[in-house]
Amino acid sequence: MTDASMQGGAAAPSRKSSIHTIDARTKKRNAAEARFKAYGLAAILVGLFFLVVLAVSIVRNGLPAFTETTVDLEFVLTEEQYQEAEGTLFKTAAYTDFFIAGLREQLVEDGVEVAFDEDAIERILGKVGGNLREFYRANEDKLGEPVSFTMSASSRVDGYMNGRVTRDGLEDSRFLMATDLDLVDVLRDAGIITQSFNWNFITGADSGVDNPGGAGIGASVVGSFFMMIVVLVLSLPIGVAASIYLEEFAPQNRFTDLIEVNISNLAAVPSIVFGILGLAVFIQFMHLPQSAPLVGGLVLTLMTLPTIIISTRASLKSVPPSIRDAALGVGASKMQAVFHHVLPLAMPGILTGTIIGLAQALGETAPLLLIGMVGFVARGYPDGFVGGFTEANSAMPAQIYTWAARADVSFYEKAWGGIIILLLFLLTMNIIAIILRRRFERRW
């Protein structure tokens, strides 16, 4: 006893230290913490950097898709020319020839000094014949009168106006000669070639491979919209009902465990698997129409259900059990307890999960490739699309994929523009999710 206390007394002075000097061990720990903070900060900065790079490149590549270069011309087609054009074998080519002649006259009238030939004009103009013929066949009464046309220029002229095509390194080809650009400059100064906002890109339908100027994402926005309606109408009630049953009513046994594990597994199944399932079941077995938003919606419903079920179950689980006890304690039945008290409290989580599921479905491409929602050119747009659950259509991501795969660089530009539209929709959905969550949470 005495020994111990004496030892303690002797040891005490040596262990005594000032809190004004930091010992080695503390220094080491502080250094470790500082290092960890630096790693974290670095990780966030790297992430931000890539985000900025992504955003900038999307905007830079995509914005030109929203402007179009047009050739504006007042043009007269006489009755005789109309008959002549209709009588030839290549009708649209004949119309193109008349338009070129018209433009040439206009240029001569304006006193353009640059030497040019018909081929140069043809290279500058897009394929205008089809549009002209369509117009005059619909409005025969306009024959012989001056009509002002706005025709989209060829994709390379569009590229020149947007700065994608420059004189440096331009090799003469049958698509564009360096001298054509002089003519383009003159036409621009004369106000014949102008740039304007491309509404057609937002409202229009996809065009053929040789007409990038006329391509729009509108039809596929409609297609995506119909698909999302199908997904929402099917997956929200089914998903929520399934989660409520599993979470609140189902007995805990092997069978429900198995279901639970499989739902988690389904959430991780690659989407292309759902695509081939949809192809086999909905199209080959049930004979639903190919390329239809209905089928796309059904396939995406299969994909979205696990997401919705998992998030709904998580938000049901997070409602404190005391609320259930309280409801049961005053004599509510289990169903009343769930629907009057638990479900309203879980609602913000359910809505968030649903919208995130929908956003995921909106951006999904792979399953749509398999059910034929790519490589399609709209006919009868927009009339044929209004009732369009079973009409062939495309969807935004599938449309972007189609454009990116085409040879003409102008389509590549359209693909980037399509991505901007898609991201705008996703951003809107996420904002709606946040607003809904806030609104519902404020009520409690």
Partner 1 sequence: MYDAPNTELHVTQNDIKIAARKVQVYYGDTHAIKDVDVDIEDKTVTAFIGPSGCGKSTFLRCINRMNDTIDICRVEGDIQIDGEDIYDKRVDPVQLRAKVGMVFQKPNPFPKSIYDNIAYGPKIHGLAKNKADLDEIVEKALRRGAIWDEVKDRLHAPGTGLSGGQQQRLCIARAVATEPEVLLMDEPCSALDPIATAQVEELIDELKQNYSVVIVTHSMQQAARVSQKTAFFHLGHLVEYGETGKIFTNPEDTRTESYITGRIG
CB closer to partner 1, 233 vs 326 = 326
Site residues for partner 1, 28-87, by CB under 8 A, read none
3-state SS assignment for residue 125: strand
Instruction: Give one word for 111, left, alpha or beta, with left for phi > 0 and alpha for psi -120 to 50.
Output: left
Instruction: Rule CB under 8 A: choose which of 327, 355, 392, 395 binds partner 1.
Output: 327
Q: Which stretch binds partner 1 (CB under 8 A): 18-26, 213-221, 306-314, 317-325?
A: 317-325
Interaction between residue 333 and partner 1 (CB under 8 A): yes
Interaction between residue 318 and partner 1 (CB under 8 A): no
Interaction between residue 329 and partner 1 (CB under 8 A): yes
Q: Which stretch binds partner 1 (CB under 8 A): 183-191, 290-298, 334-342, 423-431?
A: 334-342
Site residues for partner 1, 344-363, by CB under 8 A, read 345
In 3D, which of 106, 149, 143 has the Cα closest to residue 126?
Answer: 149
Tokens at residue 101, please?
Answer: 């002649």
CB closer to partner 1, 83 vs 256 = 256
CB closer to partner 1, 21 vs 252 = 252
Interaction between residue 88 and partner 1 (CB under 8 A): no
Site residues for partner 1, 246-275, by CB under 8 A, read 251-252
Number of residues binding to partner 1, judged by CB under 8 A: 21
Smallest gap from residue 258 Cβ to partner 1 (A): 17
Close Cβ partners of 231 (under 8 Å, ≥ 6 residues apart): 297, 300, 301, 304, 357, 358, 361
Q: What is the DSSP letter of 392?
A: -
Q: Are 407 and 211 in contact (CB under 8 A)?
A: no
CB closer to partner 1, 303 vs 327 = 327
CB closer to partner 1, 104 vs 341 = 341
Helical axes 343-362 vs 218-244, angle rounded to 10° = 140
Interaction between residue 191 and partner 1 (CB under 8 A): no
CB closer to partner 1, 344 vs 384 = 344
Instruction: Rule CB under 8 A: choose which of 8, 87, 163, 331 binds partner 1.
Output: 331
Interaction between residue 115 and partner 1 (CB under 8 A): no
3-state SS assignment for residue 218: helix
- Count of helix runs (H) and strand runs (E) in the chain: 19, 3
Interaction between residue 314 and partner 1 (CB under 8 A): no
Interaction between residue 442 and partner 1 (CB under 8 A): no
CB closer to partner 1, 217 vs 327 = 327
Tokens at residue 260, please?
Answer: 């639970």
Instruction: Rule CB under 8 A: choose which of 336, 386, 428, 438 binds partner 1.
Output: 336
Q: Are 411 and 318 in contact (CB under 8 A)?
A: no
Look at the block and give the residue holding tokens 């080519």. Answer: 93
Q: How far is 109 from 120, CA to CA, in rounded Å?
A: 18
Q: Which stretch binds partner 1 (CB under 8 A): 11-19, 43-51, 128-136, 324-332?
A: 324-332
Burial class for 371, CB neighbours closer than 10 Å (0-12, 13-18, 19+): buried
Percent helix, strand and coil across the chain, each to the nearest 5: 70, 5, 25
Smallest gap from residue 256 Cβ to partner 1 (A): 11
Smallest gap from residue 331 Cβ to partner 1 (A): 3
Alpha-carbon distances of 278 from 224, 232, 269, 285, 391, rounded to whole Å = 17, 18, 14, 10, 17
Beta-carbon neighbour count of residue 409 at 10 Å? 14
Interacting residues toward partner 1 by CB under 8 A: 251-252, 320, 322-334, 336, 340-341, 345, 444
